[in-house]
């Protein structure tokens, strides 16, 4: 017995990449309406990237396209770097937005606006589904898994816009880069850590993202986490406007993203670069 194989247009895009191979890759399957959720999950497991996405026709009248997002282990309602990478791939493969300078993505988390300025894309930070203080037992687990003491922490908060992010602020970017997490202790927690650079550093902040429960021990560059962290930092008065973030340094990437704040909200942006294009057999 043979299994039917269909071919789909395919892109692999490097996101938040200031230079070649510096950011976080996402695999994008175009015209994926013929695939089941099981097939999507199986392919995402095979690519073994932090996320693989599937572009579909929208069901919402305001949307330009619909996106499904998978880690190697599970589907996500929203994720940032797959949002920008998929928008880049959609545009590059002939997608025509309904509005000049703006795209609207439909995903499980709802509608996400994406701005386009030349080759740069930025998404509007979605509302948090969970915020506020982190429960003491959860914090204790997070601190133990990071190998840090509570005295080293400047603040913590839930910054969850879908994936389940818990945010921790350390005293410096150097402290963030020194972390050597114990992923067995971290278990199912999704932990994001941020620390500031001194003036003249490569960016304003360094961020690291740990998601062992989704088969992504450390994510190179993370849009959703940075969107949640920005809402927290702005709300606490730690920052009073836009800033820049370097992420992926510990993995040899050095991805760069920008946080912009205006009357329309908080925008997370960066450069996307197509690295692979062709067709994939599924």
**Which of 149, 176, 175, 155 lies closest to 167 in space, CA to CA?**
155
Q: Which two tokens stand for residue 83?
A: 């949002």
Q: What is the rounded distance in angstroms from the CA atom of residue 7 to the CA atom of residue 23? A: 27
Active site residue 199: no
For the residues of 39-95, what is the DSSP string, one character each? HHHHHHHHH-SS-EEEEE--SSTT-SEEEEEE-SS-EES--HHHHHHHHHHHHHTT-
End-to-end CA distance of the chain: 16
Is 21 in contact with 12 (CB distance < 8 Å)? Answer: no
Instruction: For residue 249, give the 3-state DSSP assignment.
Output: helix
Separation of alpha carbons 71 and 245, rounded Å: 23
**Which of 51, 106, 206, 218 is labelled catalytic?**
51
Q: Which residues are catalytic?
A: 51
């Amino acid at each position: 017995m043979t299994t039917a194989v269909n071919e789909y247009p395919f892109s692999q895009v490097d996101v938040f990449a200031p230079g070649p191979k510096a950011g976080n890759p996402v695999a994008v399957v175009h015209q994926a309406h013929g695939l089941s959720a099981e097939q999507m999950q199986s392919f995402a497991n095979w690519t073994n990237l932090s996320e693989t996405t599937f572009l579909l026709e929208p069901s919402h009248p305001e949307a330009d396209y619909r996106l499904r997002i998978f880690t190697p282990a599970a589907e996500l309602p929203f994720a940032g770097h797959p949002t920008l990478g998929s928008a880049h791939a959609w545009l590059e493969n002939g997608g025509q937005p309904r509005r000049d300078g703006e795209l609207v993505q439909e995903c499980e988390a709802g509608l996400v606006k994406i701005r386009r300025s030349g080759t740069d894309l930025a998404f509007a930070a979605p509302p948090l589904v969970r915020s506020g203080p982190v429960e003491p037992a959860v914090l204790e687990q997070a601190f133990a898994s990071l190998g840090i003491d509570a005295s080293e922490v400047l603040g913590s908060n839930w910054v969850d816009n879908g994936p389940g992010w818990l945010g921790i602020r350390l005293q410096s970017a150097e402290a963030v880069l020194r972390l050597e997490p114990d992923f067995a202790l971290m278990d199912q927690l999704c932990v994001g850590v941020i620390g500031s650079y001194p003036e003249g550093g490569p960016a304003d902040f360094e961020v690291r993202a740990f998601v062992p429960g989704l088969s992504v021990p450390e994510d190179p560059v993370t849009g959703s986490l940075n969107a949640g962290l920005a809402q927290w930092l702005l709300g606490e008065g730690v920052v009073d406007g836009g800033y820049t973030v370097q992420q992926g340094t510990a993995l040899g990437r050095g991805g760069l993203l920008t946080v912009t704040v205006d009357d329309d909200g908080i925008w997370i942006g960066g450069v996307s670069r197509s690295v692979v294009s062709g067709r994939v057999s599924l």
